[in-house]
Amino acid sequence: MIRINLLPHREIKRKQQQKEFFTLLGTVVAFGAAIWFLVHLFLGSRLEDQLGRNKYLDGQIATLDSQIEEIKKLKDQVAELLQRKKIVEALQANRNQTVLLLDQLVRQLPDGIYLKSVQQKNDVVSISGYTQSNARVSTFMRNLGSSPYLENPNLIEIKASIEQNRRINEFSLNVQLTHPKDEVPDSGNKPGATTKTSATTNAGGHP
């Protein structure tokens, strides 16, 4: 029986397989490294693009913030101007209202009544004065109620008082101002003259 030694052949085949394995392994590693490198380049490029976009957006946001701040300042200025306008309009209305009030008091004041003080708070006017009789106060209140610019006269009190050693009646009442839209007071005197007359009537103070 002939014996054949196969060990050298097996060793050669094993080495050949190992060589093929390492060659394949190297190829796979090289291919993987190439893929990793390409993916790294691609992602790096996308990252750079995104960073550029972010920088652009940051610049636009800063511009918008600046514009919003300017708009806010303009709104504040407009609000301040509107507030000043309202104050001026209120002062103008109050000035006209004061002239109108004094004019109406002079027109509606009957004989025998002398005003001591007139105070206005919003649309409520507080009037105090002296009267020779209670009937004259009633007449005064009816006159105030019939005025197109005054309404709801309300008597607070009437009490006896001594002024300049004379016994008279002191009264106080409230009346409300109205704001008719279409009516304008028909006064033959100028506002300055009306105010002067009213002031003289109020300053007279005593019967």
Q: Tens of pLDDT along 96-112?
A: 777 788 888 888 888 88
Q: Which residue would you say has higher pLDDT here, 18 or 140?
A: 140
Selected residue with higher pLDDT from 199 and 168: 168
How confident is residue 72, by pLDDT bands cut at 50, 70 and 90? very high
Please indicate, yes or no, if residue 130 is contained in any of the structural domains.
yes
42 belongs to a structural domain: no
28 lies in a domain? no
Classify the C-alpha dihedral 38-44-48-50 as positive or negative: positive
Structure tokens at 107: 């027109």
User: Per the structure, how many domains does the chain have?
Assistant: 1
**pLDDT confidence bin for 183, thresholds 50/70/90:** very low
- Residue 101 included in any domain: yes
76 pLDDT band (50/70/90 cuts)?
very high
Using a cut of 0.95, tell me whether the model's pTM lies above it: no
Which residue segment(s) compose the domain that 165 sits in?
91-204
Residue 119 resides in a domain: yes
Q: Which residues contact 97 (CB under 8 A, 6 or more apart)?
A: 120, 177
CATH number at residue 103: 3.30.1360.100
Q: What is the Cα–Cα distance from 126 to 150, expressed in whole angstroms?
A: 12
* Residue 96 within any structural domain of the chain: yes
Does 105 map to a domain?
yes
DSSP string, the chain: ------HHHHHHHHHHHHHHHHHHHHHHHHHHHHHHHHHHHHHHHHHHHHHHHHHHHHHHHHHHHHHHHHHHHHHHHHHHHHHHHHHHHHHHHHHHHHHHHHHHHHHHPPTTEEEEEEEEETTEEEEEEEES-HHHHHHHHHHHHHSTTEEEEEEEEEEEEEETTEEEEEEEEEEEE---SS-----SS-HHHHHHHHHHHHHH---
Rounded mean pLDDT of 142-168? 84
